[in-house]
Amino acid sequence: MIIADLNDVGRIHGGRTIFRGLSWSLQDGERIGLIGPSGAGKSTLLRLLAGLDKPDAGAATFRRGAAVASFPQEYAGEPERAVIDELLSIREDIAALERALSAAEARMADPAVLADANAYDALVIEHGELLDQFEEAGGGTLRNRAEGLLRSLGLEEEAWLRPMRALSGGQRKIVGIARCLLSDPDLLLLDEPDNHLDLRRKAMLERVIREFEGCVVVVSHDRYLHDETVGLIVELEHSRETGLRLRRWNGNYSSYAAQKELALLRQRQDYCGQQKEIARLEAAIVRFKVWASVVVDERHIKQARKSSARSTVWRRSSGRSWNAAGCRSISGRRCAAAQAWSISVRSRRGSGLRRCCQLRARRL
């Protein structure tokens, strides 16, 4: 089932078009590694999926009721807030229920309410309804889940009551990731979550991502993280038509690298075949045009024009395909054979016509 869909979206920042015409559908349960050159727009794309930014063109739609959690490259939190309170603050709905319960309990101790039986009965019913909502939202187990996430990600217990400003960069990363997971998202977006983490905590992060039941998108420059956590690679690559495009590759990063290499080899083989065909057509052009200058035959002239048109088409298609592989295009250049023909025909046109007249005279 589709959880999020981007349809022909575009994003412009500071007068520069980052991308346009991008389409992407994310399915529930997918584990996706988003890769591409630095500065290509991966973080911008994640912000669109998180709903933090609106596309300048196209539309971003989400499944009704879907919850999205996004983790940025750098996370600081509230500097003076304790670590455990920073985690619990992600569930504002539960915090609001706790405040309502506290207010209801304070009113139950009010002598005026105790003296009014009807008011007290109504308050008891309200308190019971709030308790039911609190339990359904998971408020009774929220703190235990928060502590369990901190343990699974390797944050020591003595750091749970420290303020966020006292933590290192790696520890703040752990708190931010745990905060995202505590919100029970259907779509989890992680932008370079392994930065500042040591090997032990990276292994814990890999396990947490593998155990996540929803759809997850991971941006990372660590190929081993992609190998251990994702089953689909989405590459943000350059395109001549739209600037950037998304290309899907099934498998982890190692599988992507092998498939990409094979695709480039096939593209180079196609280019070499096109160059051979271009050379054959241009040689035929030279022959037909020389024959047309020596023997006045309309058939040779038509054949030369047809071959010239085919050669032009091959040159253009060859230039486009080779550019896609990152190599130099030769479309638009005149080949050496055509240049040699233009020189030789001009120099031999007069002698060719004289030989033609001599042949005709002998026949007569």
State residue 197's pLDDT score.
84
User: Would you say 187 and 215 are in contact if contact means Cβ atoms under 8 Å apart?
Assistant: yes
Which neighbouring-strand residues pair with 237? 245
Bridge partners, 68 (sequence order): 187
pLDDT of residue 162: 87
pLDDT band at 315 (very low <50, low <70, confident <90, very high): low
Can you tell me whether residue 6 is helix, strand or coil?
A: strand
Q: To the nearest whole number, what is the mean pLDDT of the chain? A: 79
Q: Is the pTM of this model over 0.95?
A: no
More confident residue, 242 or 142: 142
Q: Give the sheet arrangement for strand 2-13, strand by strand.
A: 16-27, 2-13, 57-62
pLDDT digits (tens, 9 = 90+) for 153-209: 888 888 888 888 888 888 888 888 998 998 889 999 999 988 888 888 888 889 889
- Give first-to-last CA distance, the chain, whole Å: 85
The rounded distance, in Å, linking the Cα atoms of 339 and 277 is 18
Identify the H or E element spanning 125. helix 117-136
Lowest-confidence pick of 1-15, 62-76, 322-336: 322-336
Question: What is the reported pLDDT for 297?
Answer: 58
Q: 3-class SS at 78? A: coil
Res 115: pLDDT: 81
Listing DSSP states for 272-340 in one string gives HHHHHHHHHHHHHHHHHHHHHHHS--HHHHHHHHHHHHHHHHHHHHHHHHHHHTT----TTPPPHHHHH
Is residue 318 over pLDDT 70? no
Q: Give the pLDDT confidence of 218-261 residue by residue, as tens digits.
A: 999 888 999 999 999 999 888 777 778 888 999 999 998 898 88
40-75 pLDDT, tens digit per residue, is: 888 889 999 988 888 888 888 898 888 899 988 888
Confidence (pLDDT) at 301: 60
**Residue range 100-108: mean pLDDT, rounded:** 84
How does residue 286 score in pLDDT terms, banded at 50, 70 and 90? confident
Please tell me whether residue 90 adopts helix, strand or coil conformation: coil
Contact in structure between 20 and 242 (CB atoms under 8 Å) = yes
pLDDT band, residue 335 (cuts 50/70/90): very low
Give Cα 267 distance to the centre of its chain.
23
Predicted local confidence at residue 166, as pLDDT: 87
How far from 126 is each of 101, 118, 132, CA to CA, in Å? Answer: 9, 12, 10
Confidence of residue 130 (pLDDT cuts 50, 70, 90): confident
pLDDT at 340 over 70: no
Q: In terms of pLDDT, which residue wins out, 9 or 313?
A: 9
Q: Sorting pLDDT into bands at 50, 70 and 90, what band is 296?
A: low
Instruction: Give the pLDDT confidence score for residue 295 in this predicted structure.
Output: 55
Q: What percent of the chain has pLDDT over 70?
A: 79
Q: 102 or 240, which is more confident?
A: 102
Compute how many other C-beta atoms are within 10 angstroms of the C-beta atom of residue 295: 13
Residues 6+ positions from 328 with CB-CB distance below 8 Å: 322
Q: For residue 234, how many other CB atoms are within 10 A of its CB?
A: 21
Q: What is the DSSP secondary structure assignment for residue 116, as one 8-state letter?
A: -
Indicate the helix (H) or strand (E) that contains 349: helix 336-363
pLDDT of residue 106 exceeding 80:
yes
Identify the band that residue 294 occupies on the pLDDT scale cut at 50, 70 and 90.
low
3-class DSSP state of 192? coil
